Structure 1
Amino acid sequence: MVKADLVLKNGKIATVDQNFNYVEAVAVRDGWIIDRGTGAEMEAYIGPDTKVIDAGGKLVLPGANDSHMHAVHTGYTLSPAFLDFSGPSYDCMEKILSKVKDACAKAGPGEWVFGCGFVDGNIKELAAEGRIMNRYDLDPVSPDTPVVLTDFSLHSMVCNSKALEVAGIDKHYPEIPASVGMIDRDESGEPVGRFHEWGAQNILCEKCPILSDTELEEAIRNVQRALNKEGVTSHTDILGEGGEHVFRGTWGTRPIEIYEKMAERGELTARVSVNVFSAIQGAESYDAIIRGTDRIRLPEFKDRNWVKADAVKFFVDLGGPTWQRKGVRPEGSFVTAWGLEEEELIQEVQRTIIELHRMGWQVCIHSCGGGSMDACVEGFARANRLYPGKDLRHFLIHCDDTTKELAAKMVKNGVLAAIQPTAANIVFGWNTPVLTDKEEIFDYQAYTDMGAILTGGSDSTCFSMNWRQGMQFCLTRTTADGYCARPDLAMNREDAVRLYTINGAYQEHMEHVRGSIEVNKVADFQILDKDIMTCPATEIGSANVVMTICNGKVVYEA
């Protein structure tokens, strides 16, 4: 009998196959699963060179998938020089400015200081004055060093006066189209250092030194190590021309090439599916997206089990549900990334979807509010009618304002929902009052029972990469700060696990090779220190990963 390279035994191994079966052991050869079953059955595969891992009775799951994140950017934020302002502790300007001042003191000539994570509304001085952070807040501690900070959503960036000076942006800088973004100005037309959306951020950061290839490689290693610690063995990334200068090049085109080179050298510890941000200069319009897509040039992916790029991404909503349905939309609140009136916007978004579908691209769209989701799903329906027979598996990202009616239409048209339960865990209380179904929002189990394919992501760097925290929210519908709504709509554990495993593989057209523990699939596993299939639901988020295996090799061990 052929001997295995690896045998994982004595585990409670959840296969996440069609019946969600459990087995005791699994045998692996050349990175692929060759058998599974009882411990006694797998003993026959153990030879003198076989690595044997005893799971000690612990729960074993397929490696997790993060279906929506900004990976290279996240890896950059994990570098020592980057300033992290996330979390409730950053509730006053003094705490932020102290950190900025120290970083400026350490910065060398020509270096910029970067950070992210702050929430304007959580900073007491700003909340008291009813405003957001601007350049004048940062200037006193950073007179000579360019400083750029991004809020927790990433959609809004603040800089100091030095950064504006280096970028050549002053009151004479021309106004930019709404489809590119917005540069905030005072009454005299002077920029106040606040830039909204990617096109505007590209303009500011074009003069900023971007990361070298070596630094980008290190960012990828950083994020994949962090993901492996959370049991993640496959993830997405959003990269392309639309983010060429954003976040020091971590959203640009070069990381796609670097992923492929690292894969060829066997240096990746998680598999990557790139969603291409093709919009020229980050502008959200039919012309910018389609022309940018026409000039996409991708490397020859030698092993698509490791790196591939089949999807084009664009944005419709801004940072949150800014295009709501008319029935729940507050007066004067309608705003989108395209800067068009609603009827024209619907036509342009749907025209873009149809053309990308015709071209054969999987389409993924940042869509949060109900008006946005309705328009996009109808665009996918029209695309299917005009050009049928394409199994492209288009998906919406975020999907905050899903209703059962819309979920049924998504099922009918094969549209997936890339949701972020770890984000819902934070924004549930904020969103409940402004969305269509109020306290019935995020009814993931109902959508699943209707046949919808939901996938779980983190939206890192915005939210935690700990997928168990997302699963806990799915089961408890209770946020970290104790807000709870309709716990009777809780998701069952098997479907919550599927969000982060087989469903993510399906979104990436890879369900035939990963996402479950079955023969002839890749050997990607995670071992947990707690049985999240039986423990109290309130303890799922605190479960730790004790080992992660990718391609039959241990890539993380606690």
Structure 2
Amino acid sequence: MKANLVLKNASVYTVDKDRRWAQAVAIADAKIIFVGTDSDVETYIDPDTEVIDLAGKMVLPAFVDSHMHPALSAHLYQYQLALFDVNGKDQIQAYLNAVCEFAELNPDSPWIIGGGYLRSAFDEIGPRKEWLDEVDAERPIAITSRDGHSMWVNSKALDLAKITKDTLQPEEGVIKHDPKTGEPSGLLQEPGAMNLINRIMPKPPKEEIVKSLIWLQNWLNAKGITTTHEAMLGIDESHLYQAYEELAQAGKMTVRYRASWTISPEGDAKSQIDQAKILAKKFSHPHFKAESFKFFADHVIEEETGYLLEPYAHRDDHWDGIKVWDDDILRKAFTQIDSEGYQIHVHVIGDAAAQYSLDALQAMVATNGERDSRHSFAHLQLAQPEDIRRMGELGLSVHTSPYWMNLDDYFWKLNLPYLGHERAFYHQYPLASLFEAGVNVTIASDFWVSEPKPLTAIYGGMTRQVSQHEFDSSYGSESSYRRVSDPNAELEEGDLGVLPPLEERVSLEKMIVASTLNGAYANFLEKEIGSIEVGKLADLVVLEQNLFQIDIEEIPATRILMTFFEGQQVYSAEK
């Protein structure tokens, strides 16, 4: 067979089971037909073959982001108020200035909708409605936090949702109140409270979602990503899943998606699962399938809603967070899903959430028996050693976010006071121990929470700190923060240093595998992508430098030169 495309004179790290290196790759009809030496690849070249001499550049399998929220995140970036890059010495005023500017630029929008503010910029009560009222009191304003677990609203939005000081606290949510007046302060935490607004907000049209996904795939390709997992697909969000399906059937995708249907404790779990199964069978295109089910076991530490074995350190009411599911209901839901061959994908932050989710999974296995299920946890900020061992025994994947494995502003302002010194400094974000337990470790941006940058994630897993490159771009010279790279240095409060324990750092090889082959395996795609081997789809990324030969600080800034999706070049740095 002759090749359509040959990459030669390269440093090809195959990520096969033997972790072999090669010089050349030949591709025909979307698949890899040869991996080997420059001399041997000549057999596959004829006058019609495109040959790219890479002059020693590194070739890797294209990256897999195992947990993100692509459609709604892309729509926010393209059509709504995005606060992600808004910075200033007075952070709150910087946000308000951005809201004001957006309101002036969009005078005819019935709502002002956005996202991306940092919870670390505010106190425990959170951002106030009065600040937004001064910007616009006539239109409802609703802005979701960067972590996605709280919403800042103005008085108009509260009025439309009929939220008053007498409104009962919802299940799985918190309405924050002004401690002096008792009125809603303007912060709504978690789905139970946020959905009071979400259900009256206008949904984006499918046409805008389609355009947003096209924009997003160009961005993902530029980061070397060709596969990702849509981690929260609503059963009633036809504008989302129809947009994915439309692009897939039209052959316009340069990213393949796997997706999880969100199952909520607000309704009957069995009924939701049955509805999602009917929908799942409609989507069979290799670029878009939804054969997994998403559960929230808890929420997040920064909103005091992650579920902990020991109470939050800054409170005196023995508050240990939100346990989303009843044990028996969760066990029955898991058992139903697993018995029919589908996957389970669980948001887990706190150690108590990990524990009761594992109990439900073990009960499920006791009922159904063992199978190649590849169920997964996402995030895993805290977990007991015994529970990490159970994850390995159950064959779980854990979609880790090394973007968060550092001492940053969230650590100092939220995690440290909320968790206390011991938990915050020595028990957050296990990584090496997951590998050692036999867990299938992947990487995930949780976009929009973090922008997808696999090389930044690889660096984070190796070092557990913010890189100089990220510090310069995200904090900069105007920042009051100080980056401290010495893991043994004495830290002052606010220093961006190395997150202990140092033993949880892992090697470059492990991080590359986590971002490629392990991500493919988690989605039952390891026979198609994830390594550079004959017969697999030619999803490849070309890097300017060999990651094994450069200083570790250069890894996050290494340029991606080309990305290939099924043999087609979908990104070129030159173009």
Deviation at 1:414, TM superposition (A): 1.4
Q: Distance in 2 between matches of 1:226 and 1:64?
A: 13
Q: Which residue of 2 aligns with 1:142?
A: 136
1:335 is aligned, of 321, 342, 358, to 321
Secondary structure of the corresponding residue to residue 188 of structure 2: strand
Q: Please tell me whether the aligned partners of residues 283 and 289 of structure 2 are also in contact (alpha carbons under 8 angstroms).
A: no
Q: Which residue of 2 aligns with 1:248?
A: none
Matched, 1:269 2:283: no
Residues 19-30 of structure 1: matches in 2 within 5 Å?
19-30=18-29
Change (3 A) 1:91 1:276: farther
Deviation at 1:441, TM superposition (A): 4.0
Secondary structure of the corresponding residue to residue 360 of structure 2: helix
* Stretch deviating more after TM superposition (320-329 or 523-532): 320-329
Q: Which residue of 2 aligns with 1:390?
A: 371
Deviations 1:485-542 (A, max 9, x none): 2434421111110111000011101111111111111100011122212222222111
Q: Distance in 2 between matches of 1:502 and 1:259?
A: 24
Deviation at 1:467, TM superposition (A): 1.2
2:432 is aligned, of 445, 455, 462, to 445
Q: Which residue of 1 aligns with 2:202?
A: 209
Matched, 1:527 2:542: yes
Q: Which amino acid aligns with 2:461?
A: C
Q: Which residue of 2 aligns with 1:132?
A: 126
Taking structure 2 as the reference length, what is the TM-score of the superposition?
0.86
Deviations 1:60-87 (A, max 9, x none): 1100000011111221132164322456
Q: Which amino acid aligns with 1:107?
A: N
Residues 59-458 of structure 1: matches in 2 within 5 Å?
59-79=58-78, 81-86=80-85, 89=88, 91-122=90-121, 126-127=122-123, 131-165=125-159, 167-171=160-164, 175=168, 177-179=170-172, 181-186=173-178, 190-241=183-234, 252-279=237-264, 284=265, 287-296=267-276, 297-298=278-279, 304-320=285-301, 322-326=306-310, 332-336=318-322, 338=324, 345-425=326-406, 426=408, 431=415, 434=420, 438-439=425-426, 441-458=428-445
Q: Please tell me whether the aligned partners of residues 125 and 187 of structure 2 are also in contact (alpha carbons under 8 angstroms).
A: no
Q: Distance in 2 between matches of 1:42 and 1:291?
A: 55
Q: Which amino acid aligns with 1:277?
A: T
Deviations 1:422-455 (A, max 9, x none): 1224556665755759525434223213321111
Change (3 A) 1:31 1:308: same
Taking structure 1 as the reference length, what is the TM-score of the superposition?
0.88
Deviation at 1:307, TM superposition (A): 1.1
Matched, 1:465 2:455: no
* Stretch deviating more after TM superposition (113-122 or 502-511): 113-122
Matched, 1:495 2:510: yes
Q: Distance in 2 between matches of 1:48 and 1:404?
A: 59
Secondary structure of the corresponding residue to residue 533 of structure 1: helix
Q: Please tell me whether the aligned partners of residues 325 and 436 of structure 1 are also in contact (alpha carbons under 8 angstroms).
A: no
Q: Please tell me whether the aligned partners of residues 86 and 116 of structure 1 are also in contact (alpha carbons under 8 angstroms).
A: no
Q: Please tell me whether the aligned partners of residues 502 and 514 of structure 1 are also in contact (alpha carbons under 8 angstroms).
A: yes
Change (3 A) 1:439 1:68: same
Deviation at 1:253, TM superposition (A): 3.5
Q: Please tell me whether the aligned partners of residues 143 and 153 of structure 2 are also in contact (alpha carbons under 8 angstroms).
A: yes
Secondary structure of the corresponding residue to residue 44 of structure 1: helix
Q: Distance in 2 between matches of 1:439 and 1:270?
A: 37
Q: Please tell me whether the aligned partners of residues 442 and 518 of structure 2 are also in contact (alpha carbons under 8 angstroms).
A: yes
* Stretch deviating more after TM superposition (413-422 or 169-178): 169-178
Secondary structure of the corresponding residue to residue 53 of structure 1: strand
Q: Which residue of 2 aligns with 1:545?
A: 560
CA RMSD of aligned residues (A): 2.6
Q: Distance in 1 between matches of 2:148 and 2:254?
A: 26
Q: Please tell me whether the aligned partners of residues 411 and 451 of structure 1 are also in contact (alpha carbons under 8 angstroms).
A: yes
Deviations 1:298-333 (A, max 9, x none): 265665431111110011211237212238877522
Deviations 1:99-128 (A, max 9, x none): 111111122434322222212332xxx44x
Q: Which amino acid aligns with 2:108?
A: P
Change (3 A) 1:164 1:306: same
Q: Please tell me whether the aligned partners of residues 104 and 145 of structure 1 are also in contact (alpha carbons under 8 angstroms).
A: no
Give % identity.
Answer: 25
Q: Please tell me whether the aligned partners of residues 419 and 457 of structure 1 are also in contact (alpha carbons under 8 angstroms).
A: yes
Change (3 A) 1:335 1:327: closer
Q: Which amino acid aligns with 1:94?
A: Q
Secondary structure of the corresponding residue to residue 307 of structure 2: coil
Deviation at 1:224, TM superposition (A): 1.3
Q: Which residue of 1 aligns with 2:488?
A: none
Q: Which residue of 1 aligns with 2:40?
A: 41
Deviation at 1:149, TM superposition (A): 0.9
Q: Please tell me whether the aligned partners of residues 76 and 82 of structure 1 are also in contact (alpha carbons under 8 angstroms).
A: no
Change (3 A) 1:316 1:89: farther
Q: Which residue of 2 aligns with 1:247?
A: none
Q: Please tell me whether the aligned partners of residues 501 and 515 of structure 1 are also in contact (alpha carbons under 8 angstroms).
A: yes
Q: Distance in 2 between matches of 1:479 and 1:547?
A: 26
Q: Please tell me whether the aligned partners of residues 197 and 337 of structure 1 are also in contact (alpha carbons under 8 angstroms).
A: no
Q: Please tell me whether the aligned partners of residues 324 and 372 of structure 1 are also in contact (alpha carbons under 8 angstroms).
A: yes
Change (3 A) 1:553 1:301: farther
Q: Please tell me whether the aligned partners of residues 291 and 342 of structure 2 are also in contact (alpha carbons under 8 angstroms).
A: yes
Q: Distance in 2 between matches of 1:208 and 1:35?
A: 52
Q: Distance in 2 between matches of 1:450 and 1:172?
A: 48
Change (3 A) 1:431 1:14: farther
Q: Which amino acid aligns with 2:522?
A: Q
Deviation at 1:91, TM superposition (A): 4.1
Q: Which amino acid aligns with 2:310?
A: K
Q: Distance in 1 between matches of 2:524 and 2:279?
A: 18
Deviation at 1:53, TM superposition (A): 2.2
Q: What stretches of structure 2 of length at least 5 have no aligned partner?
A: 468-482, 484-495
Q: Which amino acid aligns with 1:138?
A: L
Change (3 A) 1:462 1:86: farther
* Stretch deviating more after TM superposition (438-447 or 141-150): 438-447
